[in-house]
Amino acid sequence: IAGVRDWARELGVWILAGTFPESRSEDERFHNTSVLVAADGAIAAVYRKIHLFDIDLVDDGGDAYRESAHVAPGREVVVAETPFGGLGLSVCYDLRFPELYRQQAAAGARFLAVPSAFTPHTGKDHWEVLLRARAIENQAFVLAPAQAGRHSPERASHGRSMIIDPWGVVLAQAPDRPGVLLADCRLEDLERIRSGLPALSHRRL
């Protein structure tokens, strides 16, 4: 993290770092942690992944994972205050749990960050659909950097990082390889959408 803090100071930008394994005192499991670094190098927020990826899709042509064998779940919903507005933090499998993002929107999130490493098997059918749904449901920009490519003979990631606007429009999308995405995320567009279709204030449940 020290190097990331140096980069943030040098470049004058905010950086979302991680995830990375964060050790714990309770047992040998670690947290799957994401750290938001401010432009002055200060640590602005820390998020520990809440929902753990314990799945078995082998019979469906996919893979099996048991993240909980090595990772302890976080418990805190995190919305960081930034000069651009509230930024809700989450990680990968969290994307499948819309109640997390609804809590973040209620806490003032205008941006939702979802750094991920979706598998090719789930990513091809679910990645874009889930990201656009979270953007539309919460009328927020979604920033979704994604691991891409083959990491070992046994493991590959879907890639296709995306930036999505509060209407659900994909503003930028990467291919299934490393790259850089840029998009103009205008808060006036967010306010126009929330004002014209005030679904967040219409909630009854």
Q: Token match 């919460």: residue?
A: 138
pLDDT the model gives residue 43? 98
Residue 54 scores a pLDDT above 90: yes
CATH code of the domain in which 32 resides: 3.60.110.10
End-to-end CA distance of the chain: 40
User: Higher-confidence residue: 92 or 156?
Assistant: 92
- Distance (Å, rounded) from C-alpha 118 to C-alpha 92? 7
> Domain count of the chain?
1
Mind listing the pLDDT tens digit for each residue in 129-149?
999 999 999 999 999 999 998
**Among 134, 85, 76, residue whose Cα is nearest residue 110:** 85
- Contact status, residue 40 vs residue 104, Cβ threshold 8 Å: no
pLDDT 10s digits, 62-101: 889 999 999 999 999 999 999 999 999 999 999 999 999 9
pTM confidence score:
0.95
Backbone angles phi, psi at 23, to 5 degrees: -70, 155
* Helices 98-106/120-138 angle, 10° precision: 30
Q: What percent of the chain has pLDDT over 90?
A: 90
Tokens of 32: 């799957």
Q: Residue 153: is its pLDDT beyond 90?
A: no
Structural domain range at position 186: 2-202
Residue 155 pLDDT greater than 90, yes or no: no
* Nearest CA among 128, 122, 115 for reference residue 156: 122
DSSP 67: G
